[in-house]
Amino acid sequence: MNAPHVPVLLEEVLEALSPQPGDVMVDATFGAGGYSRAILEAGATVHAFDRDPDAIAAGLEWAETRADPPRLVLHPRRFSEMVDALAEAGVARVDGIAMDIGVSSMQLDRPERGFAFSADGPLDMTMSREGPTAADFLNEAPEGEIADVLWHYGEERQSRRVARAIVAARPLSTTGQLAQVVRKALGYRPGAPKDPATRSFQAIRIHVNGELDELEQGLRAAERLLRAGGRLAVVSFHSLEDRIVKRFLREAAGATARASRHLPEASGEQTPTFERLSKAVRPSEAETLRNPRARSATLRSAVRTAAPARAHQGEVA
């Protein structure tokens, strides 16, 4: 079975992870399995996570043909749960973790999933195919809450106007209806370089799936799982995600500045848990020509030190 698509920044991710025969690695966002396939070809074992049952079902079609014991182990779970899931599988430490944050091409290209407005479909947007949908949120939430979601997760400057239009148009049931409401509220002119509905769809999707919280929890899980010398590679697609990744790695590396140079250094500061932080890596012009969806991607990578994982609120390191 051929992969449905080539994942973004594949060569750069593989260079950052440097998978070797016998390594145990995590593909935190399995999707169509592009990263997993490449890591398997390098001789490593892969534990792959995805909360989307469609992705897991598609992966099982070719995972069953792998070696015994299997070198590809599929986990139908959120990647924030990888510590517990791997413990259940008898794995305490791994050599590398890849994350490709956000919605997958498989989800975007299927109108029935409700992630895109390129073709009309039900207003769903749930990655796990369960729980409250985008329609549930938009048809039931107060106007102020909808405006806050559009502002914080979509960076929509006219969030209140859009939220007011959404409430006035209730009930909404399809992606086409939502896109039309947003465009009308923002005065969209056909032929404009960017459809103004893009920001609202991004915001609603992030909210419905709790994506930013999931990313923060996943990064903490990676810190706990990676062995000393283990490698982390994270591909994000918009500034909100990239800021979370950048801040996490800088704090883990001890690279954040003190609040004031006039204040004394804090006692008991923890030893850095990550080192060799990469600069932001972006797709080449050739890749963006092959795959326009790659144009907004950013890769950040780092190497785990031997220091114990930091304790976060509500967690035990």
What is the model's pLDDT at position 260? 43
Give the mean pLDDT of 205-225.
96
111 phi-psi bin (left φ>0, alpha ψ -120 to 50, beta other): alpha
pLDDT tens sequence across 119-162: 789 999 998 888 999 999 999 999 999 999 999 999 999 999 99
Q: Peptide bond preceding 308: is omega within 30 degrees of 0, i.e. cis?
A: no
Of 144-158, 247-261, 303-317, the range with the highest mean pLDDT is: 144-158
Q: What is the rounded CA–CA span in Å between residue 250 and residue 275?
A: 9
DSSP string, 87-119: HHTT---EEEEEEE-S--HHHHT-GGG---SSS
Specify the DSSP class assigned to residue 235: E
At residue 116 the predicted structure's pLDDT band, cuts being 50, 70 and 90, is confident
- Kindly state the greatest CA–CA separation across the chain: 62
Q: How many CB atoms lie within 10 A of CB 275?
A: 16
What is the model's pLDDT at position 111? 61
Q: Is the pLDDT of residue 317 over 50?
A: no
| All structural domains of the chain | 10-105+211-304 (3.40.50.150), 111-209 (1.10.150.170)
The chain-wide mean pLDDT, for the chain, equals 89
Q: What is the rounded CA–CA span in Å between residue 248 and residue 186?
A: 35
Give the mean pLDDT of 229-233.
98
What is the model's pLDDT at position 180? 94
CB distance 54 to 128 below 8 Å: no
Q: What is the pTM of this model?
A: 0.89
pLDDT tens sequence across 59-96: 888 776 556 678 999 999 999 999 999 999 999 999 99
At residue 112 the predicted structure's pLDDT band, cuts being 50, 70 and 90, is low
- The two structure tokens encoding residue 182: 């947003």
Q: What is the rounded CA–CA span in Å between residue 90 and residue 33?
A: 23
At residue 265 the predicted structure's pLDDT band, cuts being 50, 70 and 90, is very low
Alpha helical stretches, state H, the chain = 10-17, 34-41, 53-63, 82-88, 105-108, 134-140, 143-154, 159-168, 175-186, 197-209, 211-225, 239-252, 285-290
Give the mean pLDDT of 152-174.
97
As beta bridge partners, residue 94 has 226
- With tokens 């409430």, the residue in question is 167
The residues, ordered by sequence, that sit 6+ positions from 65 with a Cβ below 8 Å of its Cβ are none
Q: What is the rounded CA–CA span in Å between residue 102 and residue 7?
A: 13
Percentage of the chain modeled with pLDDT above 90: 71
| Closest alpha carbon to 201 in 258, 261, 283, 118 | 118
Q: What is the rounded CA–CA span in Å between residue 130 and residue 78?
A: 13
- CA distance to 54, 89, 156, per residue, from 268 (Å): 47, 35, 41
